[in-house]
Amino acid sequence: MELAYYSDYAVRLVNTEEPARGKDALTSVEAVRDLFGSNKEAARRAAEADVTRFRSVRARLRAVFESADGGDETLAVNLLNSLLLEFPVSPQISGHNFRDDDGRPLWHMHLADHPSNATAGYAAIAAMGLAFHLTEYGVDRLGLCEAAPCRNAYLDTSTNRSRRYCSDRCATRANVAAYRARKRLEADRSERTGLAAESAQRTSATGER
């Protein structure tokens, strides 16, 4: 499993909440377990107390994205380092489930957590994955969607660092909103120009009399 995969854990957790819309999908043990995806063994460790603990970690991860999105590189790193210290992992070489044509293991790096509870395990993986992404691609690759009021987190993997939205849906919505705003502005300018021309004609006509 590639280490970059683990960074999705952070995005997945952060995006369970939409603060601007007052929405929170992290309201039950089932919602916590869903975050683990195919890692059913880890998901089974989740208990009722993890709902509150997950929300706490979510707030701290969102703060990392907010700092990065706001251009405060040092703060983003410091916040992420505090998570790494609190929720450590052990990188290990693994070859399970992946075989080449000759049946030999395809060795890859795996993050082994040693959690006291489901939250600790998830937070360790999410923080380490985000740390690998940050150091590999740069702090400016951690973003928050610009399509207000969305503000979902995303990881920019574009070649020209151009990503601004969390999804195609938000990008389309933002483009439509921008197009309508331009049309309104053009209409306002046209109306003002027409009124100015009309006023000038009246002034000219008055002067001629």
pLDDT by residue, tens only, the chain of 209 residues: 456 678 999 999 999 999 988 999 999 999 999 999 988 888 999 999 999 999 999 999 999 999 999 999 999 999 999 999 999 887 778 776 667 778 788 887 777 766 789 999 999 999 999 999 999 999 999 999 999 899 999 999 888 888 999 999 999 988 776 667 677 776 667 667 766 666 666 666 666 55
Buried b (16+ CB within 10 A) or exposed e, 127-150: bbbbbbbbeebebebbbbbebeeb
pLDDT at res. 41: 86
Q: Are 141 and 134 in contact (CB under 8 A)?
A: yes
Closest CA relative to residue 88, chosen from 126, 132, 58, 134: 126
pLDDT at res. 200: 60
Predicted model pTM: 0.78
